[in-house]
Amino acid sequence: MTSPALPPMYRDLDFNGPLSDERAARLIHSLGSLEGHHVVDLGCGWAELLLRTLSTEPTATGFGIDLGEENIRHGRAGAEARGLADRVELEVGDVGVWKGAPPDVVFNVGAAHVWGGDPVAHTGNALTALADLTRPGGRVLFGECYWRRPPSDEEIASMAVIPRDQYRPLPDLVDFALSHGFRLYSLSEATVDEWDHFENGNAWGMEDWIRDNPDSPDFDEVVRRTDAHLRLRLHGRDLLGFAHLTLLRV
């Protein structure tokens, strides 16, 4: 399919994931003192969490990288509007080939796939890369999906795009993270309300496009994609969780 000009997700969402303002503030608090620290966000989207983090500490600096040009353009405009442009650099690029200075704090939220490879290996690839990047005492904010309960074969079949072994139960996700050389500093799970807010904001852009483009050659494909996403959302509702782990490198 060609790429129809769907409304960008940031039109209706602050974060490209299930995260409320209140929990975002608590996550930033879990990072400890950021005085003089350099914060790197790998797969930053439009960098909302990075910008909010830098807003809390005037001596902190930041760097974010994402493949999406429009995301980065929006992130830069946000940095400008908040007076952060001289303290944050946002770059269009591939995390898989990025080489940067060791940061004090690293974010990788909803973006374990940025190092590529088989989806079943994404979480492990991300944790290995994050451990390599972080100095002892440094912190990592890692946001990842987990199974709230074991999925049935029918559920896995209905969700099609998610291999069963891509995710783990939450205790196993935490143990897996710790086995990469971290201590757990903080753990928080997305609520159903945060998921609904995220999925509704995601759907609005698609539904508005469908309403406004009945004659587009992409119409059938966008409807198919939107309906498939709704199936995934409904079947995943009590099944798929999302957790933020604040990890301390040992």
User: Which residues form the interface with ligand SAM (CB under 6 A)?
Assistant: 15-17, 43-45, 65-68, 71, 94-96, 109-111, 113-114
The H or E element that residue 236 is part of is helix 219-236
Residue 223 Cβ, how far from ligand SAM at the closest point, in Å? 23
Residue among 110 and 241 whose Cβ is closer to ligand SAM: 110
Residue among 100 and 216 whose Cβ is closer to ligand SAM: 100
Alpha carbon distances (Å) from 38 to 3, 77, 183, 246: 36, 20, 20, 16
Residue among 24 and 156 whose Cβ is closer to ligand SAM: 24
Residue among 55 and 216 whose Cβ is closer to ligand SAM: 55
Residue of minimal Cβ distance to ligand SAM: 45
Residue 54 Cβ, how far from ligand SAM at the closest point, in Å? 15
Pairing type for strands 139-147 and 88-92 reads unpaired
| Residues in CB range of 202: below 8 A, 6 or more apart | 9, 12, 13, 229
Compute the half-sphere exposure of residue 123: CA atoms within 13 Å on the CB side of its CA.
25
Residue among 31 and 44 whose Cβ is closer to ligand SAM: 44
Beta partners for residue 14, in sequence order:
none
Residue among 107 and 209 whose Cβ is closer to ligand SAM: 107
Residue among 29 and 157 whose Cβ is closer to ligand SAM: 29
Closest CA to 150 of 238, 233, 234: 238
User: The tokens 């400008």 sit on which residue?
Assistant: 80
Residue 154 Cβ, how far from ligand SAM at the closest point, in Å? 26
Residue 113 Cβ, how far from ligand SAM at the closest point, in Å? 6
> Which residues in 225-239 are b (16+ Cβ under 10 Å) and which e?
ebeeeeebbebbeeb
Residue 68 Cβ, how far from ligand SAM at the closest point, in Å? 4
Q: How far apart are CA 112 and CA 246, in angstroms?
A: 15
Residue 48 Cβ, how far from ligand SAM at the closest point, in Å? 6
Residue 122 Cβ, how far from ligand SAM at the closest point, in Å? 11
| Residues in CB range of 201: below 8 A, 6 or more apart | 9, 12, 13
Q: How far apart are CA 225 and CA 149, in angstroms?
A: 26
Q: How far apart are CA 95 and CA 114, in angstroms?
A: 6
